[in-house]
Amino acid sequence: MRLIVVFLIHIINDGYMNFLPPLLPFLLPARHLTIVEGALLISAFNLISAVSQPLMGYLVDNRGQRWPIFVGTAWMGTLLGITGLVPSYALLLPLVALAAFGTAAFHPQATSLVARLSSVARRGLVMSLFIAMGNIGWSLSPLLETPWLKDHGLPGTTIFVIPALIAGVLLLVWGPRRPDTRPTTVPFRDLWRAVRRKTGPLSALISVVAVRSWTYFGFVALLPLYLEGRGLPAVAAGQSLSLMLFAGAFGGFAGGYLSDLHGRRVVIATSLILTVPCFYLFLHSTGLMSMVFLALAGATLLASFSVTVVSAQEILPKNAALAGGLVLGLSGGLGALGLAAIGYLAQVLGLPTALEYVTFLPLAAAALSFLLPGKPKATAA
């Protein structure tokens, strides 16, 4: 039951993580902001989440704290829900940064719970289900947010405070009733030594996820604006983003299942290589075929999402929450840093040219993936 509750709340939590991109088409003209300033909002959110997630993971592994998992989503959703009321960029930027601590609190304990309740032989499959729930949340966000804001304007963001509070109550009542990890007394220096012994594979994995994140955040942040530039209404542009992310949920599930059979490294490399032609054909086609290629691009790009989380937990098996925090936080945040550069590129060269460059980034991630460990032995957890 705890696992089911966490799966469902992951939909809500990650819906908020994709709250800002659909907001930009309404926010930029209303607040007279540039594309760079809009990209910086998303970068700040993901960077703060990135820096704080490994720390939260360490606290969960060593303290067995329960509160982060039910406080996190409520905190994040409440702050993001009032963004439409904030009149200035000077206030908006720190508000978004503070909201990021919410998802940093939720994810490490949630991924640790998933890892603890699944066997090594099926860990990729179970983790892929968890990640798929998050990707579904990402895909639903534009579908719900864009039409609502079109009808109610920026003040309409306040309605999105309600799901966050409901999620917090659900986790408080039906979520974990005791710590999801057994607290340890490992000093930080000993943990640091353990991490240093795995510097090679961890560095390779973080690099793979960082480069993949450039592609992911670049398209998620700029796709609605790009499609509006091609003549699509705001609602249709939001629906297209949802299509990409919803297909990514299925791709993540398939990737997790295949990684249990064929190994993490094979699935990561193959899916990233296949992403490139899919995004390229999306940019160079129109109508129905462009949407087909966009869906395939989302599926292949996110096929390695859950696989990289499991890979990190297999590299650091005694620190599952920290490992989840590293992949979902730090490495993703390093990728989000590139979003500011992509936003600047889009402003100077135009959105189509910027996305053209972003399309080929997964090839670099695929090359780095060959430095990862091979398939681990399937033993009971």
Which of 217, 219, 107, 95 is closest to 157 using CA atoms?
Answer: 95
d(CA 14, CA 11): 6
How far is the C-alpha of 54 from the C-alpha of 224, rounded, in Å?
Answer: 31
Quickly count helices (H) and strands (E) in the chain: 17, 0
Token pair recorded at residue 194: 């353990």
C-alpha torsion sign, points 83, 38, 359, 371: negative
What confidence tier does 187 reach under pLDDT thresholds 50, 70, 90? low
- In this predicted model, what pLDDT tens digit does every residue of 142-160 receive, in sequence order? 889 989 999 999 999 999 9
For residue 187, the tally of other CB atoms under 10 A from its CB is: 10
Please give the DSSP secondary-structure letter assigned to residue 327. Answer: I
pLDDT in tens, 194-231: 667 777 888 889 889 889 988 988 888 888 889 988 88
**Short-list 226, 215, 211, 228, CA closest to 349:** 226
Q: Indicate the class that CATH gives domain 2-369.
A: mainly alpha
Instruction: Say what percent of the chain tops pLDDT 90.
Output: 33
The structure's pTM equals: 0.73
Task: List the one residue out of 306, 319, 109 whose CA is nearest residue 198.
Answer: 319
Q: Rg of the Cα trace of the chain?
A: 19
Look at residue 160 in the predicted model and tell me its pLDDT.
Answer: 95
300-342 pLDDT tens trace: 999 998 888 888 888 877 776 677 777 767 666 776 678 878 8
Residue tagged 């969960």 (tokens): 60
Average pLDDT, integer, range 12-41:
90
The pLDDT of residue 378 is: 41
Alpha carbon distances (Å) from 297 to 221, 278, 282: 15, 5, 8
What is the rounded distance in angstroms from the CA atom of residue 245 to the CA atom of residue 41? 20
Name the residue among 77, 372, 323 with its Cα closest to residue 195: 323
Q: Mean pLDDT: which of 58-62, 101-105, 117-121 is highest?
A: 101-105
314 with 373: CB under 8 angstroms?
Answer: yes
Residue 309, amino acid: V
Q: What count of Cα atoms within 13 Å lies in the side-chain half-sphere of residue 23?
A: 28
pLDDT digits (tens, 9 = 90+) for 282-310: 999 988 999 999 999 999 999 998 888 88
What's the pLDDT score for residue 135?
A: 80
The distance of Cα 198 from the centroid of its chain, to the nearest Å, equals: 24
Ordered by start, the domain boundaries in the chain are: 2-369
